[in-house]
Amino acid sequence: MRATVMYGAGDVRVEEVPDASISEPTDALLRITRACICGSDLWPYKQMPADSEGAPMGHEFIGVVEDVGVEVSTVAAGDVVVAPFMFSDGTCDFCGEGLHTSCRKGGMWGRSGTGGGQAEAVRVPYADGTLVKLPVAEDDALMPGLLTLSDVFCTGHHAAVCARVRPGQTVAVVGDGAVGLCGVIAAKRLGAERVLILGRHTDRTDLALELGAADVVAERGKEGVERVRDLTGGEGVHAVLECVGLEQAFQTAIGITRPGGAVGRVGVPQFDSLPGAGLSFFHNITVSGGVAPARAYIEELMPEVLEGDLQPGRVFDSEIGLADVPGGYKAMDERDSIKVMIRP
Ligand SMILES: [Zn+2]
């Protein structure tokens, strides 16, 4: 079968690999029908040291179950399913607490003996815990939205939950990438009265406005903080969704939070210590967030995507075949595309 393998910065290849197959009684074998490229895939694309073994890529996908191990009971051959961006057993104490990303038996796609999702097929460990059945056919028009349940919409939702978004609040989203755009949808869904988006790519901030944002702040750093304060009567916002992961973005997030507010961070941090410690201390700002337990949110968010009330699938502005995946990475890295969907 064909799969995407990264061999170093800028070196992504689609090549023949051994066919995925069931090896444990709790596994399922999935034929992948939709996958995508994540903003987090761009970090290794920028800086991964050359590695002759290569790393299987892709952690967001929907597929059709081809076969299951003898202990699998919740999905069967022919089912259309979505996988969250990490696998988990669904039975340990952390899974019970809704923190599937810390599952005692869980792990990342493309590591621990599994392949990645930017491929024709994948072995799914702990299929009962990991997979969620979708009540649609494999070519349903809602596929883009449903694919965002794998990661990007659940991650935006996690940012909003961790930022403690409540009805009537003013909320800021730092970052106009696909996660930030999903954060706008999530904040509105939780009742935010007014959402500000901080970003400087007009195609993306225009989409944010269509998705429910009221104001765009293109300034960065100190100027961005001042602009948000101007827009909020000098106060700052109740809740900030930090969807970038760079030090300056986090500093901005702290700077625009009103006293007693909260920052939900979901941008993978490219720094070691949290900036703004003094300000967040004296303003009693809660800093929360982290890697989103997508599996905990899929069932909650899926109905509104199926009903068409929420349209997180609008973050996809490009669709390619598996052979074109290297070009998809390039397009996202050069910001020619917000998010690329793959039909293997
Ligand atoms: Zn678990």
Distance 22 CA to ligand 1 centre (A): 20
SS3 185: helix
Distance 167 CA to ligand 1 centre (A): 32
Distance 228 CA to ligand 1 centre (A): 41
Distance 131 CA to ligand 1 centre (A): 13
- 55-56 sheet: strands from edge to edge: 11-16, 2-8, 55-56
**What percentage of the chain carries pLDDT values higher than 70?**
100
pTM above 0.95, yes or no: yes
Distance 164 CA to ligand 1 centre (A): 25
Distance 103 CA to ligand 1 centre (A): 4
What is the per-residue pLDDT across 166-218, written as a single tens digit (0 to 9) for each?
999 999 999 999 999 999 999 999 999 999 999 999 999 999 999 999 999 99
Mean pLDDT over 242-259 rounds to 96
Distance 130 CA to ligand 1 centre (A): 9
Scanning 190-338, the segments in alpha helix (DSSP H) are 202-210, 221-231, 247-255, 277-282, 294-306, 325-333
> Domain residue spans in the chain?
2-151+293-343, 155-289
Distance 339 CA to ligand 1 centre (A): 30
User: How many whole angstroms separate alpha carbon 213 and alpha carbon 187?
Assistant: 9
Distance 186 CA to ligand 1 centre (A): 26
Distance 193 CA to ligand 1 centre (A): 36
Mean pLDDT over 239-249 rounds to 95
Q: What is the pLDDT of residue 113?
A: 85
Distance 105 CA to ligand 1 centre (A): 6
φ and ψ at 268, to 5 degrees? -60, 115
What is the per-residue pLDDT across 55-102, written as a single tens digit (0 to 9) for each?
999 999 999 999 999 999 999 999 999 999 999 999 999 999 999 999
**What percentage of the chain carries pLDDT values higher than 90?**
96
What is the per-residue pLDDT across 304-339, written as a single tens digit (0 to 9) for each?
999 998 999 999 999 999 999 999 999 999 999 999
Question: 155-289, superfamily in CATH?
Answer: NAD(P)-binding Rossmann-like Domain (3.40.50.720)
- How many residues does the structure list for the chain? 344
Q: What is the pLDDT of residue 272?
A: 87
Q: Is the predicted pLDDT of residue 112 greater than 80, yes or no? A: no
Distance 104 CA to ligand 1 centre (A): 5
Look at the block and give the residue holding tokens 């750093």: 221
User: How many whole angstroms separate alpha carbon 55 and alpha carbon 53?
Assistant: 7
Burial class (CB in 10 A: 0-12, 13-18, 19+), 105: middle
What is the per-residue pLDDT across 283-292, written as a single tens digit (0 to 9) for each?
999 999 999 9
Distance 342 CA to ligand 1 centre (A): 29
Q: Among 3.90.180.10, 3.90.79.10, 2.60.120.330, 1.20.1250.20, name the CATH number for the domain at 2-151+293-343.
A: 3.90.180.10
φ and ψ at 21, to 5 degrees? -155, 165
